[in-house]
């Protein structure tokens, strides 16, 4: 899939040699040749071509595919109360992703606002941010390939109205169905949710009680209708439907009813196993894997890996964590190819981008060069369709 015909009109060729090349199921010592933005040859051993880049034994893997990141929000509001110019924020976010080896990203944008409560801080923002992302993508200003991930908050007042502002032409790859009603899913522990909300928004105890009561009212009034309508709109966009924070078997059955193909961050082993059985790919946070547990007190990604039900990793809120977690997974299980699979081919396949995510003949030449220093990856170069972007 070409992201921008003008940008790709004169793609350069490149040869990366003397590298440990991470293929689908093995790592070889060899050479990758790129022509016109795609992988043209994969050879065993080094070559002596004049224009070849000697990788000095570094690893070469496919470009990382990120399905869910909130990183743009940090650039839009670098400090509480500080709004950064939107174009500058998007470009800084894009450059950061390229620097950590992410070559395809699904930017997570919340749709669904709470207009009746100023303290809720759930104001509308997705459409203008999407416009800026798409403008920069179309004009060829982005280093990496951007798609939209619309996070439909069913516990809100305007989710359907905001979804209807988008069309199938807006590069919407994922619509996730989210329910942040207190006391269930991610925040079964009300004490942890209270600490999170009060820390983020500065609510008093009474304001927090009022906020929770309002969320319960919204869920009771709109929840089921919003879920069904959001899933239907997502399918109309041609997007992949994702569930969010599945905890119980009922949550998984509900996700399957809405034809979800990805489960974002299930919070229990039981839910993850049920998702796997239902043909729903299980995605967990790379920070969870690296930290050894969930910051919300839910199931650890490592526990799901041990159960064989961890399919995809997402950087969530730390872009650099994606490659780090994939490498850690590979080292822990003695199979670097399988670790990288969870951040390359697996997420690409989950969103039907079958032309990328793997070093194989004819695939997009989205590539990352890195070496290991004390078992941590140090990135030495990122290429998108054969063009170096970092």
Cα–Cα distance measured from residue 315 to residue 327, given in angstroms and rounded to the nearest whole number: 13
One domain for residues 5 and 78: no
Supply the range of the domain harboring residue 57.
Answer: 1-62+356-390
Residue 9: what pLDDT? 43
349-385 burial, b at 16+ Cβ within 10 Å, e below that, comes to bbbebeebbbbeeebbbbbbbbeeeeeebebbbbbbb
One domain for residues 207 and 290: yes
Residue 318: what pLDDT? 97
One domain for residues 233 and 366: no
Instruction: Return the closest-CA partner of residue 314 out of 204, 149, 141.
Output: 149
One domain for residues 13 and 107: no
Residue 5: what pLDDT? 39
Domain holding 337: CATH number?
3.20.20.140
One domain for residues 16 and 144: no
**62 bridge partner residues:** 367
One domain for residues 232 and 282: yes
One domain for residues 238 and 339: yes
One domain for residues 178 and 314: yes
Distance (Å) of CA 198 to CA 110, 117, 153, 179, 317: 20, 15, 20, 19, 19
One domain for residues 173 and 281: yes
One domain for residues 342 and 379: no
* DSSP 8-state assignment for residue 335: -
Would the pTM of this model clear 0.85, i.e. be above it?
Answer: yes
Compute the radius of gyration of the chain from its Cα atoms. 21
Q: Give the total number of structural domains in the chain.
A: 2
Q: What are phi and psi of 20, to 5 degrees?
A: -90, 105
Check: CB of residue 239 under 8 Å from CB of residue 147.
Answer: no
pLDDT tens, per residue, the chain with 390 residues:
456 534 444 567 899 999 999 999 999 999 999 999 999 999 999 888 888 999 999 999 999 999 999 999 999 999 988 999 999 999 999 999 999 999 999 999 999 887 776 555 678 999 999 999 999 999 999 999 999 999 999 888 899 999 999 999 999 999 999 986 665 656 666 666 666 666 666 678 777 777 777 777 777 778 788 999 999 999 999 999 999 999 999 999 999 999 999 999 999 999 999 999 999 999 999 999 999 988 767 899 999 999 999 999 999 999 999 999 999 999 999 999 999 999 999 999 999 999 999 999 999 999 999 999 999 999 999 999 999 999
One domain for residues 25 and 125: no
Q: How many other C-beta atoms can be found within 10 angstroms of the C-beta atom of residue 5?
A: 8
Domain holding 377: CATH number?
2.30.40.10
One domain for residues 232 and 275: yes
The beta-strand segments (E) located in the chain are: 14-22, 27-35, 38-44, 53-54, 59-62, 64-69, 102-111, 145-153, 172-178, 240-244, 262-264, 281-285, 312-314, 367-373, 376-384, 387-388
């Amino acid at each position: 899939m070409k992201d921008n015909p003008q940008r790709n009109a004169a793609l350069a060729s490149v040869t990366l040699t003397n590298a440990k090349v991470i293929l689908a199921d093995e790592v070889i010592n060899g050479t990758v040749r790129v022509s016109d933005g795609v992988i043209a040859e994969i050879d065993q051993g080094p070559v002596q071509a004049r224009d070849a880049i000697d990788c000095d034994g570094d690893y070469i893997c496919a470009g990382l595919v990120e399905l869910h990141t909130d990183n743009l929000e940090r650039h839009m509001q670098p400090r509480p109360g500080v709004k950064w110019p939107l174009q500058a924020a998007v470009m800084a976010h894009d450059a950061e992703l390229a620097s950590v080896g992410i070559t395809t990203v699904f930017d997570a944008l919340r749709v669904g606002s709470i207009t009746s409560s100023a303290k809720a801080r759930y104001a509308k923002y997705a459409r203008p941010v999407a416009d800026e992302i798409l403008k920069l993508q179309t004009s060829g200003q982005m280093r990496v390939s951007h798609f939209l991930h619309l996070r439909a908050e069913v516990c809100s007042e305007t989710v359907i109205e905001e979804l209807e502002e988008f069309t199938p032409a807006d590069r919407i790859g994922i619509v996730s169905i989210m329910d942040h009603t207190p006391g269930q899913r991610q925040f079964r522990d009300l004490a942890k949710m209270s600490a999170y909300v009060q820390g983020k928004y500065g609510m008093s105890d009474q304001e927090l009680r009022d906020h929770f009561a309002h969320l319960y009212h919204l869920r009771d009034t709109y929840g089921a209708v919003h879920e069904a309508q959001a899933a239907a709109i997502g399918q109309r966009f041609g997007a992949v439907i994702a569930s969010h924070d599945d905890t119980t078997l009922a949550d998984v059955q509900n996700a399957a009813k809405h034809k979800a193909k990805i489960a974002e961050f299930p919070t229990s082993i039981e839910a993850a196993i049920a998702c796997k059985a239902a043909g729903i790919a299980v995605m967990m946070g790379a920070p969870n894997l690296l930290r050894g547990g969930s910051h919300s007190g839910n199931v650890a990604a490592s526990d799901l890996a041990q159960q064989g039900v961890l399919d995809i990793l997402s950087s969530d809120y730390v872009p650099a964590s994606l490659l780090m977690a994939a490498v850690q997974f590979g080292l822990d299980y003695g199979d670097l190819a399988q670790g990288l699979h969870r951040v390359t081919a697996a997420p690409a396949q989950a969103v039907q981008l079958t032309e990328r995510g793997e070093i194989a003949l004819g695939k997009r030449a989205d590539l990352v060069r890195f070496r290991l220093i004390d078992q941590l990856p140090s990135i030495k170069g990122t290429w998108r369709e054969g063009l170096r972007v970092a």
